[in-house]
Amino acid sequence: MSHVANLMVSVHPDDRPTVEAFSQWLRTAAPKRGFGAGAAGFVGALAETTGRNTLWGGSKYPECEVYAGALDHADLAGLLAHVERLRWRRPELVQLFLMDQEDDWFRVWMFHGPRLRQLLPERPDDELPASAAPSDVDIRFALAVDADVLVDMLVEAVNWAPGRELSRADVLADPRNAHYVDGWPRPDDLGLVAETTWGSRRNEPFAVGAAWLRQFTADDPGYGFVADDVPELSIAVNPTERGRGLGAVLLTRLLRLATESGVERVSLSVERDNPARRLYERHGFRPHRDEEGEAAVTLLADLRTPPAARAARTPAPPVRRTPTATRPNSSSPTETSPRPMKGRTA
């Protein structure tokens, strides 16, 4: 049986040397499938499609460099692992388009932190329907270039309540807020950004919402900390975009991606009078910790339960505790130490 795969790689012009080194590896040392364990050698090569002698962009200078080629008997898992190990100058702009033997569609990978993540599924019909999101909004992975976007969304989340207008600097000055976005992305971070071109003067996309997961430890807990292996949810939507169901779309897709990534439970902290709590409960979040005198409650979703069953499940009694002086997230939110994770999203 032939094992032919079509491969396209789009990179920033600064990464031309890296992708050319990758092509040389395909010629000489790439792992093979169908030849037994350890087989390696020539599986093909990549040709530049955006050079001076091509018709790409006419006479314009290309914003990216695109290489393409057909590979024969290439071990695709080994190929992806090698791409992760390469030293890309602009990894956030690397895109891989891969069509395997007898397929008639491309799967797409991009870097999310140090790891490649598959943006499109194994089969076209595995995707969420496009109608799940407003027609003028696109949902994509949150990448390294989106660090400032997540800060903006964190500020929106903190300022969900009418009359609360903390500045970006004020929000980030509190380390209990800043650690939700510091160093984005960490290896285990997972996030989505919603963006639109509607209303953009230059027809360029801009972010209108985001949802992301981050793991914390008992030594540096988030407001909704449950355990080291339970990531905490942050979510926010721009005020002008609320009421369109965008928060529900972000939450649904992020929980699905988390499940596919092996995450079993997700937590969050929400103030009791935040209307977004109803959204979380519709997606299966239930009270986990309810501390007497606290303005917020910690909710937990068990992703091992199917979404429909999670939403229908009767809430379990929360764990009630008395606040203690040593608990890092026991203080009630104030003007100087607000709780994040409160974005009004529905």
- Report d(CA 70, CA 7) in Å as an integer: 6
The reported pTM is: 0.64
* Residue 62 domain-assigned (yes or no): yes
119 with 145, same domain: the answer is no
The number of distinct structural domains making up the chain is 2
Q: What is the pLDDT of residue 260?
A: 86
Residues 108 and 147 in one domain: no
Residues 117, 135 within the same domain: no
Residue 346 lies in a domain: no
**Helix axis angle, 76-85 relative to 16-28, nearest 10°?**
140
Closest CA to 301 of 268, 269, 254, 266: 266
What pLDDT does 163 receive? 86
pLDDT at 306: 78
Reading the chain (346 residues) residue by residue, the pLDDT tens digits are 457 899 999 999 999 999 999 999 999 999 998 787 788 999 999 998 887 666 665 555 667 889 999 999 999 989 999 999 999 999 988 999 999 877 778 888 888 777 888 776 655 555 444 435 667 788 888 988 899 999 999 999 999 888 888 999 999 999 999 999 999 999 899 999 998 866 555 567 889 999 999 999 999 999 999 999 999 999 999 988 888 888 999 999 999 999 988 999 999 999 888 889 999 999 999 998 766 667 889 999 999 887 767 766 655 444 444 333 323 333 223 233 345 544 444 4
CATH number at residue 231: 3.40.630.30
C-alpha distances in angstroms, 47 versus 7, 24, 52? 10, 11, 13
Quote the pLDDT of residue 335: 32
Which pLDDT score, from 0 to 100, does residue 329 have?
A: 32
Nearest CA-CA partner of 27 in 8, 3, 4, 45: 45
| The pLDDT value given to residue 55 | 63
Domain identity same for 227 and 261:
yes
Which residue, of 126, 155, 184, is where some domain finishes? 126
Q: Distances from the Cα of 62 to the Cαs of 11, 13, 59, 132, in angstroms?
A: 11, 8, 9, 34
Q: What is the pLDDT of residue 289?
A: 73
Domain span holding position 313: 131-321
pLDDT value at residue 116: 83
Q: Which of 93, 96, 92 is nearest to 22 (CA)?
A: 96
Half-sphere exposure of 91 (CA within 13 A, CB side): 16
Are 31 and 81 in a shared domain? yes
Residue 168 pLDDT: 93
CATH code: domain of residue 32: 3.30.70
69 and 183 part of one domain: no
pLDDT (0 to 100) of residue 189: 94
155 forms beta bridges with: none
Residues 95 and 49 in one domain: yes
> Is the same domain home to 67 and 143?
no
Q: How distant, in Å, are the alpha carbons of 16, 25, 26, 88, 215 from that of 46?
A: 12, 10, 8, 17, 39
Same domain, 216 and 274: yes
